[in-house]
Amino acid sequence: MIWRRARYEAAGRVVGPVIASLDAWQRRRGRRGRGPRGGPFGPPLESVAKLKELMTVHYYQGRYADGAVPVAWVTSGFPVEVLRPLGFHTVYPENHAAMCGVQRLVPGLSDAVEAQGYSRDLCSYVRTDLGSVVTGRTPVGRLPRPDLLACCTNICQTVLYWYRALAAHFGVPLVLVDTPYVYGPEAKPHQLAYVRDQLEELVRVAEKVSGRRAEPEALAEVARLAKEGTDLWAECLATGRERPAPWTGIDGFFHMAPIVALRGTEECNAYYRLLRDELKDRVRRGIGGLREERHRLLWDNLPIWFAVREVATLLAERGFNFVCTSYTNAWAEAGSRIDPSDLIGSAADSYTHIILNQDLPNRLGILRRLARDYGVDGAVLHSDRSCKPYSIGQVDLRDRLAAELGIRVLLLEADHSDPRAWASQQGENRLTAFMESFG
């Protein structure tokens, strides 16, 4: 146990950073002579190098977490702040699946579990994760075996069945936090009490699994870090209100990785201070995410990971920039309710009010506010085959946004990770026709 813990710490403090530095050096050599990102985009963000280092170290250290520290696999909308004071190394299968999507590994991983009887109609994140578990294939070398599985229904009900399958495979405890769906502007007191009771039970289970006690001071410190991190992320996103926006919404999809996977840590916050300062500096110098920003767009739903650059480039070539997205914004809004003086109670409040756990009028209000705050003149609503809770109601949202704000809105059908549900030529034609409608 002592040796494994020492190896885990060394992986995070020494070996991982060295590997990340070597990888960055090799990438720089590969780009030598090719210049910056070029094309319709502005200069690349210098923070990208630190982002890659941070996530490389996180996943590399995870290879040695088994038997060294308790390991929890958690859903993206889970109140991870409760687990961090107990020393858990956390793995986010959705974040890992997104990486698989970017690298176009999903069809092969999905085939492996579809051969076992899982339907292609399941969320591609689920199929990717289960396929990685079955085959052992992963772009990060190895994922540590979980000691605890923790899921929250605030993003969808599918996570429960997904994590039940994982629990059966690994034979480890599964903790479910069930959040009542919010109709109206705020959850009712009895709904928040229901969630709070579950979080208190979560503490007891996590303490048992970790063999440690959740001290009030440690809970408060993690809550402080989590709130600070989401506030910093919100500051980064808010720079997109400037003209020209200093980065693109597509950049935001990649730079959100730490607020998802490392929320509640100082490493996460240090990164977003660096990114925020660079973005504000670009604003002062008039450097945009595009070389010429002619139109500003809102993106709703998850990105199309395997085609994210393809779509962004097609639009950028005509001066269209996604200056805000509902998905990246969700990670800023949720943490605004966290209160370090009452982590459990405020976490119940925060995680119950995730965008996907609120009714359509709430979602419309968020999109309307983003559209106005960021001064968009168009929107693309990604009708995501794999994320039905996020996609339901988008026809109504499209019509309301167009009627109320007078902006052009496109409903684009795809899948966030599986390229087999994306017709590239058809998608390009629809996006081109959308852009031509601006005149």
What tens digit of pLDDT does each residue of 162-186 get? 999 999 999 999 999 999 999 999 9
pLDDT of res. 38: 66
If you average pLDDT over residues 402-427, what whole number do you get? Answer: 96
C-alpha Rg value of the chain to the nearest Å: 21
If you average pLDDT over residues 331-340, what whole number do you get? Answer: 88
Higher pLDDT, residue 256 or 35: 256
Q: Encode pLDDT of 139-150 as tens digits.
A: 999 999 999 999
**Tokens coding 175:** 């903790």
Q: Encode pLDDT of 3-20 as tens digits.
A: 889 888 888 888 778 887
If you average pLDDT over residues 264-291, what whole number do you get? Answer: 98
State yes or no: pLDDT of 288 exceeds 60: yes
Query: DSSP assignment, residue 1?
Result: -
pLDDT of res. 35: 41
If you average pLDDT over residues 244-273, what whole number do you get? Answer: 97
State yes or no: pLDDT of 32 exceeds 60: no
pLDDT of res. 27: 66
Q: Encode pLDDT of 116-131 as tens digits.
A: 999 999 999 999 999 9
If you average pLDDT over residues 231-252, what whole number do you get? Answer: 97
If you average pLDDT over residues 44-60, what whole number do you get? Answer: 95
pLDDT of res. 36: 45
In sequence order, what DSSP letters do the residues of 320-362 get, joined into one string?
EEEEEEHHHHHHHHHGGG--GGGHHHHHHHHHHT-GGGB-HHH
Angle, CA of 140, 141 and 144, to the nearest 5°: 90
Q: What percent of the chain has a predicted confidence (pLDDT) above 90? A: 90
pLDDT of res. 108: 97
pLDDT of res. 18: 83
pLDDT of res. 313: 96
pLDDT of res. 227: 96
pLDDT of res. 335: 80
pLDDT of res. 33: 41
Per-domain residue ranges of the chain: 2-436
Closest among 57, 139, 51 to 100, alpha carbons compared:
139
The helix/strand count (H/E) of the chain reads as: 19, 8
Gap between the Cα atoms of 207 and 202, Å rounded: 8
